[in-house]
Structures are given as C-alpha cells and as structure tokens.
Chains A and B, each alone.
Chain A
Amino acid sequence: MLKISNLTKRFGGIIAVNDVSFKIEKGEIVGLIGPNGAGKTTLINLISGFYSPDNGKIEFNGQDITKKRMNERAKLGIARTFQNPRVISNMTAHMNVLYAILGSEYGKGMTMTEAGAEAIYYLDLFGLLKKRDVLAGDLAIYELRLLELARALALKPKLLLIDEAMAGLNPVEAEAVSKLINRIRSEFDLTIMWIEHVLKVLMRSAERVLVMHYGRLIADGKPEDVVRRPEVVEAYIGEEEV
C-alpha cells in the first residue's frame, strides 16, 4: 500500500530523515517510535505532503505521489493527525468535521443537511456529541485529539497517519484513545501508521514497529523483538524507558 524508497529530508545541516526505506501492507498497523528529534514527525510530514523530500520516492497503491500536493494526497486517501492538533479553532467541533466531509470526494454529492448528519455520526463515534457546538479552540487536549481523529476518519482514508495521539493525556484518556484507534481500524478497514515517543503504549496495538534514530531507520520488526535490540536500547539511553 505504501512504499517509501530512500527518502531524505534536510533542514540546513540537520538530516531529519536520512535514506529511509520501508513498505507498509494493506491492513497493517505499524508503530513508529524513536527518541525526540529522531525524525518521526518529519517522516509523516513527507508522506502526507506537508514537506517535499530532498531525495527519494513515495508510492501509494502503486502510484508515485512524491510530487503530489497535500490536498491531492488527502483526496487519494491519506489522512493524518498532528502532534499539536491543527483544527480550525474559530469553528465548532461539528463544523470541523463537516468541513472534512465537504472537502472529500464522497461529500461532493451530499447536501449540507446530509453532510451535517454524517459529521454527527463521526462525532458520536468518538464520544464528542456533547461537544458538537463548542468552538474547537475551547476544547481540552484530549477532546482535540479525538476531534482530529474524527476529522481524519471523516475523510474515509485508506491510510491513517497518527502523530503522538497519547502525548499530554492521562493514563485513562490514553487508554480510551488507544481502544478507539483499535476499534476504527477494524471497523473501517484502515491501514495505520502510528507514531509514539515510546513503545509502551503501542505494545498492544502494533504488530510491527519501526524505530528511528537521528533520521535513520534502525529497526523494523515485532515489538517484543525490537525492544531487545542493542541499537534500540542504545538509542533510548538517557531516557527513562523505551
């Protein structure tokens, strides 16, 4: 489904993503971990089209999308969330999701009323029904994470890129988000690439984990194997946990 070849992105002297190659198959849920500054967010930015790479190739369902713009990739079925949620803060939760539906291909044929009802469905799915008329700017971080997921899902994506859904959440909230992601994955036939800072939260959800360090991909495998690899342990030295 997704094929990354020799992807490289530099920022001045920093090589944020350094010659990274991997493949993700349809239906997989792949974790991506690494210490702060490893290049995880940059990698998602490259895949979603937020940045263009200095080198390398991105293929999605057999199509070369390296040169495609962000909105075109969204249309092709790549949706994402942000480490720092990016919603329209002056619009309500409902309007934020509604906007995704109107922007999408399937929303074209819908009336405002139909699209509005569809948006309610996604809000409900993420337990945000009570917050529908609250301005996104007034939502708590937990609700914002849910809203971003609801918006991403409302695009009916094939590939969902999640950037640190757990950051800033308490254990109860983190657990709830984790459950929801697992649920939508099976219900909506999604392929997911899920970034977290540490592996712990991904242990139960991901069957496969990629590890990045200083822009390079240093490990790729089953979570329980990956944590034992010396290079991975090394990368996390100085941090409390993997």
Chain B
Amino acid sequence: MLAELSLIVAYTFIFGSMYLGIALGFTLTTGVLRVFNLAYGAIFLIAVYGTWMFWNDLGFGLIESIVLAIALVSLFTYAVYRIVILKFAELEDYMLAALVAVFVIIEELIAYAYPEIVGVYLPTTIYGELVSFGEANVPGQYVVTAFVSLAMLAVYLLFFTRTKNGFIMRAISQDMFASKLVGVNFNRTFALAMIIASIPPAIIMLLISPIWALNPYIGWSVFTIAILVAVLGGLGNLKGSVIAAYIIGLIQASVGFMLDPRLMLLVALVVVMAVLIVRPKGLARAETIW
C-alpha cells in the first residue's frame, strides 16, 4: 500500500510536470495569439525525427543535431505563422483545417522517410539509472524530464513578469484592442510567441523519446495531452494549465497503479469532459496568459 502510494505521488509529479512541459507552448499560442494551433503536434515529430535526420543521416554530432532540430522547429512554427495563420486570420474555420493539414503533411512525410519498421532511437538519455522515491523506484530519465519541465515553466514565468516582450504578450492576451490603441507591433510579438512556444514541446519530446517508443504517428497522442491540459486549465491560461497538468497527472498515476494502465488516457478524457460540462471555460478564472 505504501509502495503504491509512493508510486502514485512520484508519477503524479512526473506526469504532471511532463504534461505541463508538453502543453506550455500550446497554452502560450492560444493565450497570446488566440489561435488553436492544430499544427502543434508536428513540433514533437520534427524535434525527434529532425534530430535523427541530422545525427543518423547527415552525420552531425548529437548535440549539434539537437540544436539544428530545435532551430528547424522554430523555423517551422514561424512559417506556420506567416503562411497559414496570417493568411487565414479572418477565416478561422479554414485556418483550423489548414493547420491540421500542415500537421498531417509533416506526419506523412516523416512516415514516408522513416517508416515505423525502420526504428528510430535517439540516445538522449541523461540519467539512465533508477531513482528511489520513498518505497518506489522510478526511471531517472523521467525525473530529469520533470525537472526540465519545471525549469522551462520558471523561464516562462520570468519572461512574462520581468521582460518587456513578456509584459506585452500578457497585455495582448488580456485585451487585443488596447494593444492597437497603444501602437504595439503585433506581428513581431506574435512571431516571437510562436517561436518561444515551440521550444518546450521539442525539448520534452527529445527527453522522453528514449522511454517512449517512437513512431511517426506519436504526434497525435502527445498533442492530445497538450489539448487536454490546455482545455482543462482554461484555454490560454498558464496558471490553469499548471493545475490541470497535475490533476491529469494524478488521475493517470492513480488509474495506472490502482486500476489498469490501459485505462489511463480514457479516464483522463472522461474526467476532463465531466469538468468541462460543469465549467465550460475550464479551471481558469481569467482569460489571460498570466
């Protein structure tokens, strides 16, 4: 019993932090640009397969490959912003359809270049030993991932509370109209938000790829988690996302260890749906990024 409890506490922390890292960028884009970025799932794929391409196919060192892949991810999100989001700014239905299309195109391209049977493995393990947590032992790589997530959250918070661009993003997320009034340059701020938003999911994906089996369609399942966290938290609200991530982490850890691991996602989905029926706008109280 005590062992089970330790496991649940440990994995609530691990899953919660990890899910937060996965959802951070999605929350930022919805909060600041007010765009439900359905191409977000492609970021996970480009991060890992990009690294694989630079490292395995093109012969770069691992660190260089990671840096290049993250640059590629930033370039990708910027292009999505310039080519899709700006173009369809007034036509939201078309924008959403186009964003899904972008995601699927990337996915299919990767599935073509690196079919599932080929097998892609990235040696991005930072700490491969087990870490004991009370009565439980958990993979060190998970713990690393959780702490990296929290570090990225801290960077986000410092950015929002201490820097000019962060302040401007926060204000835009509150009131777009007031921003026009004071002459803020939207395009630059939006492009910056898109790029900043693409980094955390890329890093988290690289860290968990040695634990999770990679395949070209993994983007959807990871993206589902980002959506769950963001929607439960209240779209575009970072405080809400933090709470939501740990709630989902707790649900999954409890279900996984006490019920059946195969029910983890299902139960999380049902609980989130139930919460949304009561609180359609999620847990957050204000429509603002922070």
Contact = CB atoms under 8 A, between A and B. Distances in A.
A80 B184 CA distance: 15
B130 interface: no
A80 B177 CA distance: 13
B186 A88 contact: no
Tell me if B's interface is mostly helix, strand, loop or mixed. Answer: helix
B178 A75 contact: no
B74 interface: no
B154 to A, nearest CB: 18
In the complex, which of the residues B162, B171, B181, B286 has the most CB atoms of chain A within 10 Å of its own CB atom? B181
Q: How large is the interface on A (under 10, 10 to 19, 20 to 34, 35 or more residues)?
A: 20 to 34
Interface string B12-28: 00000000000000000
Contacts of A75: 183
Contact of A74 (B163, B175, B183): B183
In the complex, which of the residues A80, A100, A115, A151 has the most CB atoms of chain B within 10 Å of its own CB atom? A100
Contacts of B186: 71
A70 interface: yes
B163 A70 contact: no
A102 B163 CA distance: 11
A91 B183 contact: no
Contact of A155 (B167, B171, B183, B286): B183
A104 interface: yes
A147 B180 CA distance: 17
Interface residues of B, number: 20
Nearest to B175: A88
Contact of B168 (A80, A99, A151): A99
B180 A69 contact: yes
B186 to A, nearest CB: 7
Nearest to B288: A90
A103 interface: yes
A112 B162 contact: yes
Interface string B158-190: 000011100110010011011111111110000
Contact of A86 (B164, B167, B181): B181
B181 A70 contact: yes
B180 A99 contact: no
A96 to B, nearest CB: 8
Given A90-B286, A91-B174, A98 B167 contact: yes
Interface string A110-135: 01100100000000000000000000
B180 A70 contact: yes
16 contacts: A70-B180, A71-B180, A71-B182, A71-B186, A74-B182, A86-B181, A90-B286, A91-B171, A95-B167, A95-B171, A96-B178, A99-B179, A99-B182, A102-B184, A103-B183, A155-B183
Given A71-B185, A90-B288, A99-B167, 11 more contacts: A70-B181, A71-B183, A71-B186, A87-B178, A88-B174, A98-B167, A99-B184, A100-B182, A103-B184, A104-B183, A111-B164
4 closest residue pairs by CB, A with B: A74-B183, A103-B182, A103-B184, A100-B182
Interface of A: 69-72, 74-75, 80, 86-88, 90-91, 95-96, 98-100, 102-105, 111-112, 115, 151, 155
